[in-house]
Structures are given as C-alpha cells and as structure tokens.
Structure 1
C-alpha cells in the first residue's frame, strides 16, 4: 500500500540513508526528478531600447526597493535607477520598480522595444490585465496605462536580469533614490553584470 501510494511521487533532493532504508523496506524504490542545465544570456534589443527592472524585498513584508536600466542594442547603459520604497511586500516592490522604470523611459523620451522582468506572475498580470493585490493597485494601474503594447513584456530568467537585481539590492542597502546617466556612476556591484551582459557570456540555469 505504501509503495502504491508513492508510485507517482518524485523527490527533488536525495534522501538520507535512514529514510531511504525505511522506504525500501516497504518495497518502494524512490524516484528523483531529473534536473537540466540551460545556458542563458541577456539578449539586446534588435532596435530602439530595452528596459530591465527588478524589485528586492528583505523579508515579506520588509524593507524593499527597485532598480532598472535602459540599454541599447550594443548593451550600453543609457540610464538606470535605484529607488528605496521603505517597508512593503515583495509584490509592491516588483510593481513599483516596473512603474518607475516605465516612467523614467517615458519622461526621458526612450522608445522601448522590449521590457524584461524575471517575475512570471507580474508579467502575466500585466499582459492579462488581472490585478494581483489591492495594495499595489495604484502602481499596477499606472503600469497598465504606460504599456500600450503588452506584447513588449517578456519574462526572463533571473540570471539574465542581474544588473537590475544589483540596482534593486543597492537601493535597499543604501536606502537611496538615485538616477544614473550612463555607466560611469553606477554602484560597484553593477560592474560585473554589465560586463557579462555586454560581452554575451552565458549563464548556467538549473531547471
């Protein structure tokens, strides 16, 4: 009965010897889900500019912030931002970061051809126009109004969004609201991700 109940179960991690011995005593040989490696990298826009944004929250709720950057087809950073939001939830940080990035691009006159985000939930929410949380409604509503073409939204893996992630974490650490023009004044933690993305180096993603 135990073996039949567990016949469709797959373990994500290896069992310790004691648990493995007990399961085998009941006649069940554990199966483990296979993991695949995928090589990913940041893909520059074919034309115009791309926006990468990310939110960071140290605890949920906790201190949160957002960051993002606007880059051209050569990988050059034209503008970036790092904003501190105070205490909030992770979803508020994600939505506010996207709103700040879109507002920065619009006010500065940059035409976006792609918007990259590593939150699949938020990307689906914007494309389907289904609000996730009433706490973030005020910013979510503005985001929907700023994105005229939801098709511009694209979900990417976290490994290809490291520059925006570094800017968001810098905002929480420094508790700052900063806008950077060009690459020279960006925080030191952003130098590595910029180099990796611009050179086209691949990152390993475990699926």
Structure 2
C-alpha cells in the first residue's frame, strides 16, 4: 500500500518519494496486520527481523517425538496384530495379521486381497480372519492388538451392525471370541508396522495366504520389535 501510494504521487503529482517515510509506513502496516495473520517465527534470523519491525514474534511450537513400543504378550497368551488398508478409501483393499508368542517369535501370519472396499471394512475383516485362525489352531488365549480404535470399539458394542457382507462372519467371530480367553488393546500406527506391511503384501495376492515363516519384507520389522527398538511418533 505504501509503495503504491508513493508511486502514484510520483506519477501524478511529480513528488519525489522519501525512502524513510516509505519504510516507516511499511513497518506500521506490518505491525498492524501481523497479529491478525497465522504463522510463526522459525529461527534466530526470523525473530530478529520481526523484532526490528516492531512485531512480537510467535515462536514455532516444537513437536516432541513420542516413543512407541510393541510389547510381547504374557505366557500363555499369543498376540495377534492386525491391520487393514484401502488405497483411496474406498479403493483396492487388503488386510493382514501376525501371531507372536511371549518371546516375540513369529508363530504365523496371513494376508489377503479384499477387492474394492473401505479401510473400515478391511480392519474388521482382519480381525475376523485372525480370530478364525486362532480358533482353528486352538489358540484360546488371544490378545488382539490393532491401530483402529473404531474397529476395536465394535467388539464391545451391542448395537454395532457390520456391513452386509460381514454380518454372518462377524457373528461367528464374536461367538469364537466368547469361547476364548480374549483381550484387545489399541496400538499406535507406528508400533503396528509389521501388521501394516503384512496387509500391504495382501494387495498382490489373489487369495488368502497363510505364512508359517515370516516373509522377507517384514523380517526386519519383526526383529526390531523383538529387540525392543522404538518407533517414533511426532505429535
């Protein structure tokens, strides 16, 4: 605005501009408008420049990383980590799950392509398939862990109605859970990386695959979990 006014005076009134007046006008406008603009100062240079203009800098809030750890279950429990995904939501979908014992050893895992579905459908399907495998193998001390709070909430809801395609499988899943010693918990997405990678493998499969040994794609993540290496979540 100050530059525009000075230019007009020079063009229409033939008045030579005063650099000092222009700078003072610019600084006044900056001081006036700064409190009404979003943003923050980052670094010493930004703060020094703003202070020189008479603006009180708002420092950038530092995001502190939080450690996320995967914990093994207690004897005689097995932990089942599940995950589901949908590229586009809805879009190409898949799910997967990993069973591990109290030492963090890989007991088995599964993955499957689900076609065109939502992420919520995939999360539920991962739970259904995982519980069915546990029930089939006689693993009746099951600790289910997922990064989907909405899917976990459905397990304790008396009013939840699953998608039509999952009505019967979901009822069977609940019946199998009632026949087990069952526990479920939430884990942040960063700590569920092994199950997430297993679900991604399901996108390339045309049928349900059971793994007796860990796929090479998830072996490094399993090793990190066993050794207690943390994942980091910035929030």
Query: Structure 2 vs 1, CA of residues 203 and 109 (structure 1 numbering), >3 Å: closer, same or farther?
Result: same
1:107-130 CA distance string (max 9 Å, x none): 011123421000011112212334
1:128-184 CA distance string (max 9 Å, x none): 334265346414333332322797110101111111111110011333421011x3x
RMSD: 3.4
TM-score, scaled to structure 2: 0.69
Count of paired positions: 193
Q: Secondary structure at the match of 1:59?
A: coil
Pick aligned residue for 1:77 from 106, 110, 119: 106
Identify which of structures 1 and 2 has the higher relative contact order when contacts are C-alpha pairs closer than 8 Å and 6+ apart: 1
- Does residue 232 of structure 2 align to residue 201 of structure 1? no
Map 1:10-159; keep pairs closer than 5 Å. Answer: 35-47=63-75, 48-131=77-160, 133-135=162-164, 137-138=166-167, 139-148=169-178, 152-159=183-190
CA distance in 1, matches of 2:127, 2:224: 23
CA distance in 2, matches of 1:29, 1:135: 55
1:71-118 CA distance string (max 9 Å, x none): 100011111111111111111111111100000011011123421000
Structure 1 residue ranges, 4+ long, deviating more than 6 angstroms after superposition: 2-6, 27-33
How far did residue 63 of structure 1 move?
1.4
1:33-80 CA distance string (max 9 Å, x none): 663321111100012211111112112111111110111000111111
Query: Which of these two proteins has the greater Rg computed from alpha carbons?
Result: 2
- Does residue 215 of structure 2 align to residue 187 of structure 1? yes
Query: Structure 2 vs 1, CA of residues 152 and 28 (structure 1 numbering), >3 Å: closer, same or farther?
Result: farther
Q: Is the 8 A contact 1:52 1:161 kept in 2?
A: yes
Q: Is the 8 A contact 1:127 1:151 kept in 2?
A: no
Q: Secondary structure at the match of 1:55?
A: strand
Q: Secondary structure at the match of 2:85?
A: strand
CA distance in 2, matches of 1:147, 1:52: 16
